[in-house]
Every structure is written in structure tokens, then in C-alpha cells.
Amino acid sequence: MRSYRIVLAAFAVGLGLSAAVDAQVLFFSRSTSFEHSCIRENDGEDSHVCKIVSELAADAGGTLDCTKDGGDINADNLSNYSLVIFVTQGDLTKSPSKANHPAVTEEGLAELLEWVKNGGAFLGFHCASDTQRGPNGGPATPYIEMVGGSFKGHGAQFEGTVKVVDKDHPTMANIPDGWKIKDEWYVFANVNKENMHVLALMDPGEERKKQPMYDIDPYPIAWCSKYGDGRVFYNAMGHREDVWSTEIFQKSVTDAALWAMGQSEEDAEPNYAEVMGKK
């Protein structure tokens, strides 16, 4: 596990906050069947995403621990943290992983969900929805119920348009409506419509004519929810290194972290039916 001093107060002025948030953050990026290049450690060096998150550090803040060790997901260890970030893939309870990182135990996974229910803060990006999915076509697993949806598939990468539907939400403070960016765009199954607060949609635009799987209406790509007493945020973006390198995306990560840790209004009332009815 690698530790960094990070500032979660970066960009806080834009949220009306004036003080740093002294918090301990766990960044977990274990993968099983497929490891994304942006979270791959090369020749002992930290992954691109771990470096990016550490670069959000400035003059004050909490402790950021980057790990791929599933043994770190347990009640005792989680009690040390204010925020957990997942950029993970596959069944985390299975071994070996792509680089033989220790698996998460079934007990540890249950303790993570309980930690969030008891007031923890959870962020998931991109392949976090391709984690603990269960059988194809099966019901949502407890983890997927928390995250809000499961990866169903994706096509070739293209420039999609991010349509912000809740412009007043703190997590959307730095994402411009109509933001065009190239990424790998997931489509979803097991969407938790009853609990989801939709923040942004992805509009495939002209890609509808090129890839049949995207010949659909704009659909949720970023959302948040309450899970028990905890706060959950998910953004399906983040496959590409250059997405993580953009200032807009980096600011949005910090905004989401601050919101999840309770530094701004909850604003997580379910709105899926309302948003999708207005598309």
C-alpha cells in the first residue's frame, strides 16, 4: 500500500468551502479478468490514475492510500478511512488477479457494504460497475445495488456528449453541459432506478448511425445515491488515461469526494423516472 498526503480542499472554493478536509482515503484498483491500462502498475511504478489522484495533493489534507491488496477491504481497516474509491474489475473474491494481488474475502466485501451503510463515502469510476456483477442476465448483486448499475457492454471508443441534468448538484460544479470527450462508453444492466439520482447523461450523437448498440436515447452516465446512511457516487467515464488527465475530470473527482464525505448538501433524492421522462 502506498500513501500520499493529499488535499481534498482543492477546488473547494468553487463549492463555497473555505477549509481543507482532513480525511483518510483508500484508493482500491484490484482487477481479475481484465486490468485497464490506466490503473496498471508498470515496472514497480504507480498507475496513471494513482499518480493523478496523488497530484491533486497540495499543501494540506488527509492521507491517500493506493492499494490492490484485497486484504485491505475489511471492517478493521475501513474504520481508518473517510472515503473509499474503487476503480476495480471482475470478481474481487477470486484469485489470482492479473498480478496475483490478494483477493477480497466474502466477509470483507460484506463489511465494505456495511461500512457504507453506516455512513461511509464511496466513489466508483468506470470499471467499478464491471465488478461483482454476478451471472449475465442475473439479478443485481448487493454490491451492484449499491453502485447503481452493472456493466452490460461497450463498443468502439468515440467522442460522446455529456449532458448535465442536475446543474446545481455539487458533483457537477465543474462539468460543463454539452462536454464532448472521447472515452469508452459503457451501457448498463440492473440499473437501480428506484434509488438513483441521475446527474448526467451520455448522448451518442452521430455514433448512433455507426454502432447499433448506441442507437438509443441519452442514458445515465453519472449518478449518486444514498445507501443506508452513506453516500455513493458513480461516474462511468475514466477508461482512457487522457480523460483522467483533463482538468475538468480531475476537478469533478474532487467535487465528488467532497460531496460523498458530507461537505455539501446531500441532494440524492431518486429522480430516474423524472429525468428519463424528459429526455
- The domain ranges of the chain are 2-152+190-200+219-277
What is the four-CA torsion angle of 99, 185, 38, 31, rounded to 10 degrees?
A: -20
Position 16 scores a pLDDT of: 36
2-152+190-200+219-277 sits in which CATH class? alpha beta
SS3 state at 276? helix
d(CA 235, CA 223): 7
Residues of the chain where predicted confidence (pLDDT) is lower than 70: 1-22, 55-62, 98, 279
Position 21 scores a pLDDT of: 58
0.75 exceeded by the pTM? yes
Q: Which residue has the cell 441519452?
A: 218
d(CA 114, CA 106): 12
Position 98 scores a pLDDT of: 65
Task: Locate 132 and state its grid cell.
Answer: 461483482
Position 58 scores a pLDDT of: 38
Position 187 scores a pLDDT of: 97
Position 263 scores a pLDDT of: 87
Position 217 scores a pLDDT of: 97
